[in-house]
Amino acid sequence: MSSKRRPFFYIHQLEQLVRLQLESTLNPLGITAGQYMILSLISHHEPISSAELSRLVRITAQSMGEFIKYLERKNWILRREDPGNKRVLLIETTVEGRVLLRQCEQEVGNLERDFFKSVSAQELSLFEETLKRLSAG
């Protein structure tokens, strides 16, 4: 048996580390890493339907529905009828959601700078491009 660890092992370890650090950073703002990611995606794609959002995140419509309900209860997003299709609700961020997102982005930016401080700008750029390519599926 080979003593070399597989790339998925390192990806899993990195994912765990990033999630822990994100949760620790975002917790004081009253938002989880998952909620932050969803709120950020909504902000970048608004207005967006729940179905489109589910496909972007690659989770079930039911799971996305739970995220959406929570974010709406917190008044970070709102849903409105799609003028082109009355059966579809479009999701947008609220003023409160955008204020929170700006705070999150600042904290996550600080976390990323600290996290990647031992990596050169060129290495980070290559890493980001590789992650994008692999994430595209």
The domain segmentation of the chain, as residue ranges, is 28-105
Confidence of residue 20 (pLDDT cuts 50, 70, 90): very high
Q: Report pLDDT for 137.
A: 72
Q: Is the pLDDT of residue 8 over 90?
A: yes
Mean pLDDT (whole number) for 81-93: 93
Q: Which helix (H) or strand (E) holds 95?
A: helix 95-115
Per-residue CA distances from 112 to 102, 104, 105, 115, 124 (Å):
15, 12, 10, 5, 11
Least confident of 3-7, 82-86, 99-103: 3-7
pTM here is 0.90
Q: Report pLDDT for 11.
A: 95
Confidence of residue 53 (pLDDT cuts 50, 70, 90): very high
Q: Assign a CATH topology to domain 28-105.
A: Arc Repressor Mutant, subunit A (1.10.10)
Return d(Cα 90, Cα 83) in angstroms, integer.
9
Return d(Cα 33, Cα 44) in angstroms, integer.
17
Tokens of 56: 């972007």
Percent helix, percent strand, percent coil in the chain, to nearest 5: 70, 10, 20
Q: Report pLDDT for 25.
A: 98
Q: Is the pLDDT of residue 47 over 80?
A: yes
